[in-house]
Structure 1
Amino acid sequence: MKLFVGLDVSSFDIKVCFLDGEGEKLKSFTIQNDLPGATQLRDTILNTARGQSVDVLRIGLESTSVYSFHPSMFLHNDEFMRGLGAKVFVMNPKQIANFKKSYSDMDKTDEIDAFIIADYLRFGRLPMSVVKEEQYVALQQLTRARYQLVRQVTQEKQRFLQHLSFKCNTFTEEVESSVFGKAMMDLFLEQYSLEELAQMELEDLAAYLRFKGKNRFDDPEQVAKSIQKAVRSSYRLDKVMEDSIDTILATSITVIQTFQRQIKEIDKSIKRIMAGLQQTLQTVPGLGPVFTAGIIAEIGQIERFEDETKIAKYAGLYWRKKQSGHFTAEDTSMSRNGNQYLRYYLVEAANSIRKRVPEYSAYYTKKCKEVPKHQHKRALALTARKLVRLVDALLRNNQIYTPKGASIHEA
């Protein structure tokens, strides 16, 4: 017996459709999207399969944010479902939408969508993704949260610099130190006026920087000089305006520091999960803990993908061919329909690796020379595509990275 179960999931209920191997509808019903509802679905599947030899049991649902997570994990981890050899697939809604176009005479209802998902499973030719194990989902939540926090820090720093230009328009040009170092942040929190900074004794300002910077400045006196040069050459604001800008700067600093503390806490949780996962990606020079965690979190268990081409397509790192007759287009654009987080981590990792690994550096340089425009962007995308092959090999074979030409060792 072949049984295909399509689930159309919403926040409050799940439309269910059972199809057999011939595409005949066996059952169609609705359950609540909660634990009792999922248990009812499990029991209905067991009752349908009772007394029959189940050759294939596939359960599919679209990836719909948090709504699909709980039912997919419940069915994936259930011991009775595993006893039947059930496989749970979480699918890209775009793939289902494209598949549905072949059913031009059908309306748009949740019941019909459940049927379409079940029929999609029955054909089984289109790419599908087996549900991730929970540790990878947990890691993914952390790495995505970190990704968003880093973006928020970047945006907040940009706002900070805009307001800093109101208070002291030459600061970033004149001062020979990072604006976002701890000493500088503490200095801005003091809310000194430009006149107070300009008239402060140079030795006192240098001592302040030395203390707040924990003696990390190579030359605190020179930094103090550059600060005073900046404040003396900047435009002056009236007191009302300057007080307002000081308040905004102090608030912005608090926001930045809060985000940075949250990132550190998330990093600790990421480190704990990564310690329990068997992987060898960090043996690649330039592939540090952040990139490694991000890549592994998005890929999940490597067995979800048949080969490296599936991973590349999942990340959107592939180029569609344009061919008609004897004509083949040379200029093709990269697809961006894949997982944006995985693509981001692969591209950023490729940029880091090509600075440290000669093989990747040579490949990047070669690709840069092939075109007159967008050299860096194109070469980096192609280098990321090359990296996919390495990631797949290391994870699938549990190998430690060795430079090209050296022997390969298993971990």
Structure 2
Amino acid sequence: MKLFVGIDVSSEDLKVCAMNIVGDTLDSFTVTNNHDGASRLRDKLLSLADKEKSKEIHVGLESTSVYSWHPAMFLHEDNSLQKRGTKVFTINPKLISKFREAYPDLDKTDYIDAWIIADRLRFGRLPMTVVLQEQYIALQRLTRMRFHLVHNLTREKQYFLQHLFFKCSAFTSEVESDVFGHAITELLLEQYSLDEIGSMELADLADYLKEKGKNRFPNPEKVAKCIQKAARSSYRLSKCVEDTIDILLATSIESIRTIKQQIKQIDQAIARLLDGIPNTLETIPGIGRVYCAGILAEIGDIHRFKDQAAVAKYAGLTWRKHQSGKFEAEDTKRIKSGNRFLRYYLVEAANSVKRHDPEFQNYYQKKFAEVPKHQHKRALVLTARKLVRLVDVLLRNDQIYTPRRKVNTEKQ
């Protein structure tokens, strides 16, 4: 006999519905979403399990940001619940939403949501149980924060380029040097007008770039000449607008530098934590510590997954089949669900691995040449799918990647 418990989570409380194997509601109640409330929930579940003589307790919660994490971990780690064979599932809200469509006449309330979750548990065929080990959880917080910072950096750079076009419309077309390099940003922070830049002595501007760039420019005179050409051929702004744009550029530059420093600190913390997690993914050429950490943090224990296909589905690197009778569509779409963090790190890792490993490079080029549109995006995602097979084999077998020997990446 099993006891099925659905929990609708909010920041303040937990709405709970307990159900038996035939779908009868045994109890509905509310507890606060804190340690005391979770303790009360545990006691009530134990009491219900004794009353119903349940040998297993299945608990389901929607994955609602950070609010479901604490109660899920509490219920998973509690010794008295573990003795009752308790399994905790965090379920994708989309799965619950689709399941709700089978009950079109039901109202939308928190208790009914908990009932829907409990009923979905009763039907079975659920994804893996919740929980990652502590070191994976800590690593996951770091890698997800890095994901957030990288996207913020990209957005801030886009703002910077917009403001730069106002300031010097010909800059990006005339100057081949890195716009976000230290020397260029220092020059923009000086808030020179275009006329001042255009009238500077070429040698003085070259020396400035050489000093600020720490002698990293191979030809500072050429770069200085391009900057002056861009300044002279750009549109002119009124003094009022130009002063405003200078302030915005300076703000963007400081934001970009701050985010880069934060990413550097996160990378250092990731490296320290990764030292305590044995893995063989770092033996793949080009994968690097950050991408390795991002993949490990989302996968956790590889044995949570049945095979490499389950890992790919979890990452959202699976394509739906469209078949009817003898017809089978060749053009199919990738599923929209999946762990976006794992997908991001797998795709980024694949982009790096293909530059270092001939097998992945050849595969990428083959897929690139197969279609006339979206070649890079399609080929890179397919290369990431190929990487999933390799990741699964290395982690599952604790195997070191040795290209000469070749590992078996066939479906298991």
TM over 0.5: yes
The one-character-per-residue Cα deviations of 1:286-325 (angstroms, maximum 9, x if unpaired) are: 2122222222222222232222111111111111111222
Map of 1:229-244 to 2, 5 A cutoff? 229-244=229-244
1:396 is the counterpart of 2:373: no
Query: Does the 8 Å CA contact 1:130/1:304 hold for their aligned counterparts?
Result: no
Aligned equivalents of 1:249 and 1:373: distance in 2?
A: 36
Map of 1:204-283 to 2, 5 A cutoff? 204-283=204-283
Secondary structure of the residue aligned to 2:295 is helix
The one-character-per-residue Cα deviations of 1:59-93 (angstroms, maximum 9, x if unpaired) are: 11110111101101111222222233322110111
Aligned equivalents of 2:377 and 2:175: distance in 1?
A: 32
**2:31: which partner in 1?**
31
Aligned equivalents of 2:223 and 2:272: distance in 1?
A: 40
**1:66: which partner in 2?**
66
Aligned equivalents of 1:406 and 1:380: distance in 2?
A: 21
Distance 1:275 1:98, change over 3 A: same
Secondary structure of the residue aligned to 1:103 is coil
Letter in 2 for 1:374: H
Letter in 2 for 1:113: D
Aligned equivalents of 2:342 and 2:159: distance in 1?
A: 28
Aligned equivalents of 1:404 and 1:82: distance in 2?
A: 46
More deviation in 258-267 or 365-374? 365-374
Distance 1:326 1:236, change over 3 A: closer
Secondary structure of the residue aligned to 1:130 is coil
Aligned equivalents of 2:220 and 2:13: distance in 1?
A: 63
Secondary structure of the residue aligned to 2:61 is strand
Map of 1:343-382 to 2, 5 A cutoff? 343-382=343-382
**1:134: which partner in 2?**
134
Aligned equivalents of 1:133 and 1:298: distance in 2?
A: 11
Aligned equivalents of 1:154 and 1:257: distance in 2?
A: 12
The one-character-per-residue Cα deviations of 1:21-44 (angstroms, maximum 9, x if unpaired) are: 343333221111111100101122
| 1:271 CA displacement | 2.0
**2:75: which partner in 1?**
75
Secondary structure of the residue aligned to 1:7 is strand
**1:341: which partner in 2?**
341
Distance 1:220 1:107, change over 3 A: same
Letter in 1 for 2:390: L
**2:189: which partner in 1?**
189
Distance 1:22 1:234, change over 3 A: closer
Query: Does the 8 Å CA contact 1:319/1:333 hold for their aligned counterparts?
Result: yes
Aligned equivalents of 1:85 and 1:129: distance in 2?
A: 12
Q: TM-score, normalised by structure 1?
A: 0.92
Query: Does the 8 Å CA contact 1:317/1:385 hold for their aligned counterparts?
Result: yes
Aligned equivalents of 2:80 and 2:14: distance in 1?
A: 20
| 1:52 CA displacement | 8.3
1:118 is the counterpart of 2:111: no
More deviation in 18-27 or 161-170? 18-27
**1:3: which partner in 2?**
3
**1:157: which partner in 2?**
157
Show structure 1 runs of 4+ deviating over 6 A: none
Aligned equivalents of 2:404 and 2:92: distance in 1?
A: 36
Letter in 2 for 1:43: D
Query: Does the 8 Å CA contact 2:49/2:57 hold for their aligned counterparts?
Result: no
**2:310: which partner in 1?**
310
Query: Does the 8 Å CA contact 2:49/2:55 hold for their aligned counterparts?
Result: no
Distance 1:224 1:379, change over 3 A: closer
1:173 is the counterpart of 2:200: no
**1:47: which partner in 2?**
47
| 1:53 CA displacement | 6.9
Number of equivalent positions: 408
Secondary structure of the residue aligned to 1:393 is helix
Query: Does the 8 Å CA contact 2:319/2:335 hold for their aligned counterparts?
Result: yes
Distance 1:106 1:199, change over 3 A: closer
| 1:192 CA displacement | 1.5
| 1:406 CA displacement | 4.0
**1:15: which partner in 2?**
15
Aligned equivalents of 1:177 and 1:101: distance in 2?
A: 56
CA RMSD in angstroms comes to 2.2
Query: Does the 8 Å CA contact 1:317/1:336 hold for their aligned counterparts?
Result: no
Query: Does the 8 Å CA contact 1:175/1:223 hold for their aligned counterparts?
Result: yes
Q: TM-score, normalised by structure 2?
A: 0.91
Query: Does the 8 Å CA contact 2:15/2:30 hold for their aligned counterparts?
Result: yes
1:198 is the counterpart of 2:198: yes
Secondary structure of the residue aligned to 2:14 is strand
More deviation in 296-305 or 125-134? 125-134
